[in-house]
Amino acid sequence: MLADQGLLSRVLLSAPDSIMGTRVWREGSAAADRAMGRHGARLLTILEAPLPLSADKPNELHPRRLTLSDAARRVWIKFVDHVETMLAPDGELRRITGIANKLAEHAVRLAGVLTLVRDVDLGEIAAAEMAGIDWCSTTLPRR
């Protein structure tokens, strides 16, 4: 019923296979602790950044534009075309067209989040973020 209303196509869904029965206890590693510390520090920096407010209305946000670089746009277009071919009558995504039609929008939003996590002041999404390249290990500041 929700699929027919268009609600599900506006939500980023994830349904991984269950790992129940395999989640045995193991101690965390020092590397994981350091990565979590870097991640927490980065999120705190983002949360403490000043909000972009309108000059004439101090209670109104004035968000800046976040655009795609030319290289990121090329990556995005390849993804759009790939998804489109999978929407064909015999395509893998045909059964979930309502959700699949929004994949390109979700992808660019996620790339925007990755961009701003890398540097909250950036105004352009790079190809690496659009392609989902392993940004976490290479772009976050080390402690």
pLDDT greater than 60 at residue 36:
yes
Please state the pTM of the whole predicted model. 0.72
d(CA 120, CA 130): 16
- CA 88, 89, 91, 97 dihedral sign is positive
The DSSP string of 20-46 is TT-----PPPHHHHHHHHHHHHHHHHH
d(CA 14, CA 9): 12
Model confidence over 3-17: pLDDT tens digits?
A: 566 666 666 666 788
Model confidence over 65-80: pLDDT tens digits?
A: 999 999 999 999 999 9
Q: What pLDDT, on a 0 to 100 scale, did the predictor assign at position 89? A: 95
Residue spans per domain, the chain: 29-139
Model confidence over 57-110: pLDDT tens digits?
A: 888 999 889 999 999 999 999 999 999 999 999 999 998 888 888 889 989 999
